[in-house]
Amino acid sequence: MSREDPDVIDSVEKAFRLLQSFSAERPAMTVSSAAAATGLTRATARRILLTLQRLGFAETDGREFRLTAGVLRLGYGYLAALPFWEHAQPHMRALSDELREASSMATLDGGEIVYVARVPAPRSMSITLNVGSRLPAYPTSMGRVLLAALPDDELRSYLDTAELRRLTPHTTTDAGKLRAELRRVREQGYAVVDGEREEGVRSAAAPVRGSGGQVLAALNVSANAARVTLDELRDVFGIAVGNLAQGTAVALGLGTLIVRSQPLFTTLRWAGVVYLCYLGVQALRSARRGDYRMLDAIGSRASGFRRWREGFLSNITNPKVLALYLSVLPQFLDPVRSTAWDALLLAYTVAVLGALWLLVLMALVHRVRAWLQRRRVRRSLDAVTGSALIGFGIALAAEG
Protein backbone atom coordinates (compact mmCIF):
# COMPACT_ATOMS: atom_id res chain seq x y z
CA MET A 1 0.00 0.00 0.00
CA SER A 2 1.11 3.59 -0.63
CA ARG A 3 2.85 5.25 2.29
CA GLU A 4 1.29 8.62 1.43
CA ASP A 5 -2.29 7.36 1.18
CA PRO A 6 -3.37 4.01 2.66
CA ASP A 7 -6.35 3.90 0.28
CA VAL A 8 -4.13 3.88 -2.83
CA ILE A 9 -2.79 0.57 -4.15
CA ASP A 10 0.86 1.20 -4.88
CA SER A 11 1.25 -1.47 -7.56
CA VAL A 12 -1.74 -0.17 -9.55
CA GLU A 13 -0.34 3.36 -9.42
CA LYS A 14 3.01 2.11 -10.74
CA ALA A 15 1.36 0.12 -13.56
CA PHE A 16 -0.56 3.16 -14.80
CA ARG A 17 2.52 5.34 -14.47
CA LEU A 18 4.34 2.94 -16.80
CA LEU A 19 1.38 2.80 -19.22
CA GLN A 20 1.37 6.60 -19.45
CA SER A 21 5.10 6.69 -20.19
CA PHE A 22 4.49 5.30 -23.69
CA SER A 23 4.02 8.11 -26.22
CA ALA A 24 4.49 9.07 -29.87
CA GLU A 25 8.09 9.97 -29.06
CA ARG A 26 8.57 6.76 -27.08
CA PRO A 27 6.43 4.04 -28.75
CA ALA A 28 8.68 1.15 -27.66
CA MET A 29 10.86 0.68 -24.58
CA THR A 30 13.23 -1.86 -23.12
CA VAL A 31 12.94 -2.79 -19.46
CA SER A 32 15.80 -0.42 -18.67
CA SER A 33 14.33 2.54 -20.58
CA ALA A 34 10.91 1.93 -18.99
CA ALA A 35 12.49 1.96 -15.55
CA ALA A 36 14.35 5.18 -16.35
CA ALA A 37 11.23 6.87 -17.75
CA THR A 38 9.10 6.06 -14.70
CA GLY A 39 11.58 6.04 -11.84
CA LEU A 40 10.76 2.41 -11.07
CA THR A 41 13.31 -0.31 -10.42
CA ARG A 42 14.19 -2.62 -13.31
CA ALA A 43 12.59 -5.55 -11.50
CA THR A 44 9.31 -3.69 -10.97
CA ALA A 45 9.23 -2.38 -14.55
CA ARG A 46 9.89 -5.89 -15.89
CA ARG A 47 7.05 -7.45 -13.85
CA ILE A 48 4.60 -4.77 -14.93
CA LEU A 49 5.54 -5.11 -18.62
CA LEU A 50 5.19 -8.89 -18.52
CA THR A 51 1.81 -8.53 -16.80
CA LEU A 52 0.64 -6.09 -19.47
CA GLN A 53 1.80 -8.55 -22.13
CA ARG A 54 -0.17 -11.40 -20.53
CA LEU A 55 -3.31 -9.22 -20.36
CA GLY A 56 -2.99 -8.30 -24.05
CA PHE A 57 -2.07 -4.66 -23.47
CA ALA A 58 1.56 -4.99 -24.60
CA GLU A 59 3.74 -7.09 -26.89
CA THR A 60 7.48 -7.68 -27.14
CA ASP A 61 10.02 -8.75 -29.71
CA GLY A 62 12.21 -10.15 -26.96
CA ARG A 63 13.95 -6.84 -26.32
CA GLU A 64 11.51 -3.94 -26.55
CA PHE A 65 7.91 -3.68 -25.38
CA ARG A 66 5.20 -1.68 -27.14
CA LEU A 67 1.50 -1.20 -26.44
CA THR A 68 -1.17 -3.05 -28.43
CA ALA A 69 -4.63 -1.98 -29.55
CA GLY A 70 -5.90 -3.69 -26.42
CA VAL A 71 -5.26 -0.52 -24.40
CA LEU A 72 -8.05 1.17 -26.37
CA ARG A 73 -10.49 -0.90 -24.31
CA LEU A 74 -9.53 1.19 -21.29
CA GLY A 75 -10.52 4.44 -22.97
CA TYR A 76 -13.51 3.09 -24.83
CA GLY A 77 -15.29 2.31 -21.57
CA TYR A 78 -15.27 6.03 -20.84
CA LEU A 79 -16.24 7.05 -24.36
CA ALA A 80 -19.06 4.50 -24.56
CA ALA A 81 -20.50 5.84 -21.30
CA LEU A 82 -20.84 9.35 -22.71
CA PRO A 83 -24.51 9.95 -23.65
CA PHE A 84 -23.73 11.84 -26.85
CA TRP A 85 -21.15 9.38 -28.21
CA GLU A 86 -23.60 6.71 -29.40
CA HIS A 87 -26.10 9.24 -30.71
CA ALA A 88 -23.75 11.67 -32.44
CA GLN A 89 -21.29 9.41 -34.26
CA PRO A 90 -23.67 7.98 -36.92
CA HIS A 91 -24.96 11.46 -37.78
CA MET A 92 -21.44 12.84 -37.97
CA ARG A 93 -20.32 10.01 -40.24
CA ALA A 94 -23.26 10.43 -42.63
CA LEU A 95 -22.75 14.18 -42.67
CA SER A 96 -19.03 13.94 -43.40
CA ASP A 97 -19.67 11.52 -46.26
CA GLU A 98 -22.23 13.87 -47.78
CA LEU A 99 -20.39 17.17 -47.27
CA ARG A 100 -16.87 15.84 -47.71
CA GLU A 101 -15.71 17.87 -44.71
CA ALA A 102 -14.39 16.76 -41.30
CA SER A 103 -16.59 16.77 -38.20
CA SER A 104 -15.41 16.27 -34.63
CA MET A 105 -16.56 16.28 -31.02
CA ALA A 106 -14.28 17.03 -28.08
CA THR A 107 -14.26 17.59 -24.33
CA LEU A 108 -11.98 19.77 -22.23
CA ASP A 109 -9.22 18.25 -20.10
CA GLY A 110 -7.21 20.94 -18.37
CA GLY A 111 -5.79 23.18 -21.06
CA GLU A 112 -6.33 20.66 -23.85
CA ILE A 113 -9.25 19.31 -25.84
CA VAL A 114 -9.63 15.55 -26.19
CA TYR A 115 -11.36 14.16 -29.28
CA VAL A 116 -14.18 11.78 -28.27
CA ALA A 117 -15.69 11.46 -31.75
CA ARG A 118 -14.05 12.14 -35.09
CA VAL A 119 -15.07 11.70 -38.71
CA PRO A 120 -12.25 12.82 -41.03
CA ALA A 121 -12.94 14.50 -44.34
CA PRO A 122 -12.77 12.33 -47.46
CA ARG A 123 -10.68 15.19 -48.85
CA SER A 124 -7.01 15.16 -47.93
CA MET A 125 -6.04 17.46 -45.04
CA SER A 126 -2.56 17.91 -43.65
CA ILE A 127 -3.46 17.27 -40.00
CA THR A 128 -4.33 13.76 -38.83
CA LEU A 129 -6.59 13.48 -35.78
CA ASN A 130 -8.30 10.50 -34.18
CA VAL A 131 -10.38 9.68 -31.12
CA GLY A 132 -8.13 10.34 -28.14
CA SER A 133 -6.04 12.98 -29.94
CA ARG A 134 -5.23 16.00 -27.80
CA LEU A 135 -4.72 19.60 -28.92
CA PRO A 136 -4.20 22.85 -27.04
CA ALA A 137 -7.56 24.48 -26.45
CA TYR A 138 -6.76 28.15 -27.13
CA PRO A 139 -6.20 28.02 -30.96
CA THR A 140 -9.13 25.68 -31.78
CA SER A 141 -12.82 26.44 -32.28
CA MET A 142 -13.94 23.59 -30.00
CA GLY A 143 -11.42 24.63 -27.37
CA ARG A 144 -12.71 28.20 -27.35
CA VAL A 145 -16.31 27.04 -26.99
CA LEU A 146 -15.30 24.88 -24.02
CA LEU A 147 -13.07 27.53 -22.44
CA ALA A 148 -15.81 30.14 -22.79
CA ALA A 149 -18.13 27.86 -20.81
CA LEU A 150 -15.77 27.67 -17.81
CA PRO A 151 -16.67 29.49 -14.58
CA ASP A 152 -14.96 32.88 -14.38
CA ASP A 153 -12.43 31.82 -11.73
CA GLU A 154 -11.38 28.72 -13.72
CA LEU A 155 -11.07 30.73 -16.93
CA ARG A 156 -9.01 33.38 -15.13
CA SER A 157 -6.69 30.70 -13.77
CA TYR A 158 -6.28 29.19 -17.25
CA LEU A 159 -5.45 32.53 -18.88
CA ASP A 160 -2.95 33.37 -16.12
CA THR A 161 -1.02 30.12 -16.55
CA ALA A 162 -1.51 28.99 -20.17
CA GLU A 163 1.44 29.09 -22.54
CA LEU A 164 0.02 30.69 -25.68
CA ARG A 165 2.54 29.59 -28.29
CA ARG A 166 2.41 30.91 -31.86
CA LEU A 167 1.54 27.93 -34.08
CA THR A 168 0.83 29.90 -37.27
CA PRO A 169 1.10 33.59 -38.21
CA HIS A 170 -2.59 33.92 -37.21
CA THR A 171 -2.44 32.36 -33.73
CA THR A 172 -3.74 34.57 -30.91
CA THR A 173 -0.95 34.66 -28.32
CA ASP A 174 -2.00 37.69 -26.26
CA ALA A 175 -3.98 36.70 -23.14
CA GLY A 176 -6.00 39.93 -23.23
CA LYS A 177 -7.10 39.39 -26.82
CA LEU A 178 -7.92 35.75 -26.10
CA ARG A 179 -10.00 36.80 -23.08
CA ALA A 180 -11.97 39.24 -25.27
CA GLU A 181 -12.48 36.56 -27.93
CA LEU A 182 -13.74 34.05 -25.34
CA ARG A 183 -16.15 36.67 -24.02
CA ARG A 184 -17.46 37.12 -27.56
CA VAL A 185 -17.78 33.33 -27.99
CA ARG A 186 -19.78 33.12 -24.76
CA GLU A 187 -22.14 35.87 -25.93
CA GLN A 188 -22.74 34.62 -29.48
CA GLY A 189 -22.86 30.89 -28.67
CA TYR A 190 -20.30 29.64 -31.19
CA ALA A 191 -16.64 30.01 -32.19
CA VAL A 192 -14.98 30.48 -35.57
CA VAL A 193 -11.22 30.01 -35.98
CA ASP A 194 -9.29 30.93 -39.12
CA GLY A 195 -5.94 29.19 -39.49
CA GLU A 196 -4.81 29.59 -35.87
CA ARG A 197 -4.07 25.90 -35.26
CA GLU A 198 -3.23 24.97 -38.84
CA GLU A 199 -2.76 27.50 -41.60
CA GLY A 200 -5.33 27.23 -44.37
CA VAL A 201 -7.96 25.47 -42.23
CA ARG A 202 -11.11 27.17 -40.97
CA SER A 203 -13.40 25.66 -38.39
CA ALA A 204 -16.57 26.56 -36.53
CA ALA A 205 -17.83 24.95 -33.33
CA ALA A 206 -20.94 25.02 -31.17
CA PRO A 207 -21.53 23.63 -27.66
CA VAL A 208 -23.29 20.37 -26.85
CA ARG A 209 -25.32 21.00 -23.71
CA GLY A 210 -26.76 18.73 -21.05
CA SER A 211 -30.32 18.84 -19.76
CA GLY A 212 -29.29 21.42 -17.15
CA GLY A 213 -27.78 23.70 -19.77
CA GLN A 214 -24.18 22.86 -18.87
CA VAL A 215 -21.69 22.46 -21.72
CA LEU A 216 -20.63 18.81 -21.96
CA ALA A 217 -18.68 18.90 -25.21
CA ALA A 218 -18.19 20.87 -28.42
CA LEU A 219 -19.03 19.84 -31.98
CA ASN A 220 -17.28 21.35 -34.98
CA VAL A 221 -16.84 21.23 -38.71
CA SER A 222 -13.56 22.15 -40.39
CA ALA A 223 -12.89 23.04 -44.00
CA ASN A 224 -10.14 24.31 -46.25
CA ALA A 225 -10.06 28.12 -46.25
CA ALA A 226 -10.34 28.17 -50.05
CA ARG A 227 -13.79 26.54 -49.86
CA VAL A 228 -15.57 28.79 -47.35
CA THR A 229 -15.20 32.41 -46.15
CA LEU A 230 -15.47 33.64 -42.56
CA ASP A 231 -18.57 35.70 -43.37
CA GLU A 232 -20.25 32.61 -44.75
CA LEU A 233 -19.40 30.71 -41.57
CA ARG A 234 -20.97 33.49 -39.51
CA ASP A 235 -24.13 33.55 -41.64
CA VAL A 236 -24.50 29.79 -41.33
CA PHE A 237 -23.97 29.74 -37.60
CA GLY A 238 -26.47 32.54 -37.11
CA ILE A 239 -29.06 30.33 -38.79
CA ALA A 240 -27.84 27.33 -36.78
CA VAL A 241 -28.16 29.15 -33.45
CA GLY A 242 -31.71 30.09 -34.43
CA ASN A 243 -32.38 26.41 -35.07
CA LEU A 244 -30.80 25.53 -31.73
CA ALA A 245 -33.06 27.96 -29.92
CA GLN A 246 -36.16 26.53 -31.62
CA GLY A 247 -35.08 22.94 -31.00
CA THR A 248 -34.25 23.66 -27.36
CA ALA A 249 -37.68 25.19 -26.84
CA VAL A 250 -39.28 22.01 -28.15
CA ALA A 251 -37.01 19.70 -26.13
CA LEU A 252 -37.79 21.55 -22.89
CA GLY A 253 -41.52 21.69 -23.55
CA LEU A 254 -41.57 25.43 -24.27
CA GLY A 255 -42.35 24.87 -27.93
CA THR A 256 -45.73 23.36 -27.08
CA LEU A 257 -46.59 26.37 -24.91
CA ILE A 258 -45.67 28.81 -27.68
CA VAL A 259 -47.55 26.95 -30.42
CA ARG A 260 -50.66 26.54 -28.24
CA SER A 261 -50.59 30.11 -26.91
CA GLN A 262 -52.33 32.26 -29.49
CA PRO A 263 -50.83 35.59 -28.27
CA LEU A 264 -47.26 34.22 -28.19
CA PHE A 265 -47.58 32.45 -31.53
CA THR A 266 -49.15 35.50 -33.17
CA THR A 267 -46.44 37.82 -31.82
CA LEU A 268 -43.69 35.56 -33.11
CA ARG A 269 -45.44 35.14 -36.46
CA TRP A 270 -45.83 38.89 -37.03
CA ALA A 271 -42.22 39.50 -36.03
CA GLY A 272 -41.29 37.02 -38.76
CA VAL A 273 -43.59 38.76 -41.26
CA VAL A 274 -41.99 42.15 -40.59
CA TYR A 275 -38.44 40.82 -40.80
CA LEU A 276 -39.03 38.86 -44.02
CA CYS A 277 -40.63 41.88 -45.66
CA TYR A 278 -37.75 44.07 -44.47
CA LEU A 279 -35.21 41.73 -46.07
CA GLY A 280 -37.31 41.57 -49.24
CA VAL A 281 -37.51 45.37 -49.55
CA GLN A 282 -33.74 45.63 -49.05
CA ALA A 283 -33.13 43.11 -51.85
CA LEU A 284 -35.55 44.92 -54.21
CA ARG A 285 -33.86 48.25 -53.49
CA SER A 286 -30.51 46.68 -54.39
CA ALA A 287 -31.97 45.33 -57.64
CA ARG A 288 -33.42 48.74 -58.56
CA ARG A 289 -30.21 50.66 -57.86
CA GLY A 290 -27.89 48.17 -59.50
CA ASP A 291 -24.81 49.91 -58.04
CA TYR A 292 -23.02 47.14 -56.16
CA ARG A 293 -19.68 48.85 -55.62
CA MET A 294 -20.92 50.80 -52.60
CA LEU A 295 -22.85 47.81 -51.27
CA ASP A 296 -19.77 45.60 -51.57
CA ALA A 297 -17.71 48.16 -49.68
CA ILE A 298 -20.32 48.36 -46.92
CA GLY A 299 -20.60 44.58 -46.82
CA SER A 300 -16.86 44.16 -46.47
CA ARG A 301 -16.97 46.39 -43.38
CA ALA A 302 -20.00 44.69 -41.86
CA SER A 303 -19.25 43.24 -38.46
CA GLY A 304 -19.20 39.51 -37.87
CA PHE A 305 -21.97 40.00 -35.31
CA ARG A 306 -24.19 41.67 -37.93
CA ARG A 307 -23.77 38.73 -40.30
CA TRP A 308 -24.57 36.33 -37.46
CA ARG A 309 -27.55 38.43 -36.33
CA GLU A 310 -29.15 38.43 -39.77
CA GLY A 311 -28.98 34.65 -40.00
CA PHE A 312 -30.25 34.25 -36.43
CA LEU A 313 -33.23 36.58 -36.82
CA SER A 314 -34.31 35.00 -40.10
CA ASN A 315 -34.86 31.72 -38.25
CA ILE A 316 -35.84 32.65 -34.71
CA THR A 317 -38.76 34.83 -35.90
CA ASN A 318 -40.28 32.03 -37.99
CA PRO A 319 -42.80 30.07 -35.88
CA LYS A 320 -43.14 27.49 -38.67
CA VAL A 321 -39.66 26.24 -37.79
CA LEU A 322 -40.85 25.74 -34.22
CA ALA A 323 -43.93 23.87 -35.39
CA LEU A 324 -41.75 21.69 -37.65
CA TYR A 325 -39.48 20.76 -34.74
CA LEU A 326 -42.53 20.02 -32.61
CA SER A 327 -44.00 17.64 -35.18
CA VAL A 328 -40.78 15.94 -36.35
CA LEU A 329 -38.44 15.55 -33.36
CA PRO A 330 -40.73 13.33 -31.23
CA GLN A 331 -40.83 10.74 -34.03
CA PHE A 332 -37.12 9.98 -33.46
CA LEU A 333 -37.37 9.59 -29.68
CA ASP A 334 -38.34 6.58 -27.58
CA PRO A 335 -41.50 7.74 -25.73
CA VAL A 336 -40.66 5.52 -22.74
CA ARG A 337 -36.89 5.75 -22.26
CA SER A 338 -36.00 9.11 -23.82
CA THR A 339 -35.19 12.06 -21.56
CA ALA A 340 -35.05 15.81 -22.07
CA TRP A 341 -31.30 15.36 -22.66
CA ASP A 342 -32.03 13.00 -25.60
CA ALA A 343 -34.39 15.57 -27.10
CA LEU A 344 -31.85 18.35 -26.63
CA LEU A 345 -29.10 16.29 -28.23
CA LEU A 346 -31.31 15.49 -31.22
CA ALA A 347 -32.24 19.17 -31.61
CA TYR A 348 -28.58 20.23 -31.47
CA THR A 349 -27.60 17.51 -33.94
CA VAL A 350 -30.29 18.63 -36.41
CA ALA A 351 -29.16 22.26 -36.11
CA VAL A 352 -25.50 21.43 -36.67
CA LEU A 353 -26.34 19.14 -39.59
CA GLY A 354 -28.36 21.98 -41.10
CA ALA A 355 -25.44 24.36 -40.68
CA LEU A 356 -23.04 21.98 -42.32
CA TRP A 357 -25.44 21.40 -45.20
CA LEU A 358 -25.50 25.15 -45.80
CA LEU A 359 -21.71 25.13 -45.84
CA VAL A 360 -21.62 22.61 -48.64
CA LEU A 361 -24.10 24.70 -50.63
CA MET A 362 -21.78 27.66 -50.18
CA ALA A 363 -18.87 25.59 -51.44
CA LEU A 364 -20.87 24.81 -54.58
CA VAL A 365 -21.73 28.49 -55.04
CA HIS A 366 -18.01 29.33 -54.93
CA ARG A 367 -17.57 27.44 -58.19
CA VAL A 368 -19.85 29.86 -60.03
CA ARG A 369 -18.92 32.97 -58.04
CA ALA A 370 -17.60 34.92 -61.05
CA TRP A 371 -20.88 34.42 -62.91
CA LEU A 372 -22.97 35.31 -59.85
CA GLN A 373 -21.05 38.57 -59.38
CA ARG A 374 -22.03 39.93 -62.79
CA ARG A 375 -24.15 43.05 -62.37
CA ARG A 376 -27.02 41.77 -64.49
CA VAL A 377 -27.12 38.42 -62.70
CA ARG A 378 -26.98 40.06 -59.26
CA ARG A 379 -29.86 42.40 -60.10
CA SER A 380 -31.96 39.49 -61.32
CA LEU A 381 -31.18 37.41 -58.22
CA ASP A 382 -31.96 40.34 -55.91
CA ALA A 383 -35.26 40.94 -57.68
CA VAL A 384 -36.27 37.28 -57.41
CA THR A 385 -35.04 37.00 -53.80
CA GLY A 386 -36.77 40.20 -52.71
CA SER A 387 -40.06 39.17 -54.31
CA ALA A 388 -39.82 35.71 -52.76
CA LEU A 389 -39.10 37.06 -49.26
CA ILE A 390 -42.00 39.49 -49.40
CA GLY A 391 -44.17 36.68 -50.75
CA PHE A 392 -43.15 34.43 -47.86
CA GLY A 393 -43.94 37.25 -45.44
CA ILE A 394 -47.40 37.79 -46.95
CA ALA A 395 -48.07 34.04 -46.91
CA LEU A 396 -47.02 33.84 -43.27
CA ALA A 397 -49.34 36.73 -42.41
CA ALA A 398 -52.24 35.22 -44.37
CA GLU A 399 -51.96 31.88 -42.58
CA GLY A 400 -52.99 33.53 -39.32
Listed residue (96, 84, 176) closest to 138, CA to CA: 176
The percent of residues above 90 in pLDDT, for the chain, comes to 21
pLDDT in tens, 276-317: 676 667 667 766 665 444 344 434 444 444 555 555 545 544
Burial of 23: CB neighbours in 10 Å, binned 0-12, 13-18, 19+: exposed
- Give CA–CA dist 35/65, Å, rounded: 12
Q: How many helices (H) and strands (E) does the chain have?
A: 17, 9
- DSSP annotation of 70 reads G
Beta bridge partners of 222: 102, 203
The percent of residues above 70 in pLDDT, for the chain, comes to 48
Task: Estimate to the nearest angstrom the gap between the alpha carbon of 90 and the chain centroid.
Answer: 16
The pLDDT of residue 317 is 47
> What is the arrangement of strands in the sheet containing 201-209, beginning at the earlier edge strand?
134-136, 112-119, 102-109, 215-224, 201-209, 191-194
CA angle 344, 181, 139 (to 5 degrees): 85
Instruction: Provide the pLDDT confidence category of residue 37 given band limits of 50, 70 and 90.
Output: very high
Q: Are 205 and 220 in contact (CB under 8 A)?
A: yes
| C-alpha torsion sign, points 263, 265, 268, 269 | negative
pLDDT in tens, 142-192: 999 999 999 999 999 999 998 899 998 988 889 999 999 999 888 877 888
The pLDDT of residue 205 is 83
pLDDT in tens, 43-87: 999 999 999 999 999 999 999 999 987 887 777 666 556 555 556
Domains (ranges, CATH) in the chain?
Answer: 10-73 (1.10.10.10), 82-227 (3.30.450.40), 232-398 (no CATH)
- DSSP annotation of 373 reads T
Residue 215's CB is within 10 A of a number of other CB atoms, namely: 17
Q: Are 93 and 104 in contact (CB under 8 A)?
A: no
pLDDT at 383 over 80: no
CB within 8 A of 349, min separation 6: which ones?
87, 88, 91
Instruction: Provide the pLDDT confidence category of residue 220 given band limits of 50, 70 and 90.
Output: confident
The pLDDT of residue 191 is 85
Average pLDDT, the chain: 71
- Give CA–CA dist 263/248, Å, rounded: 20
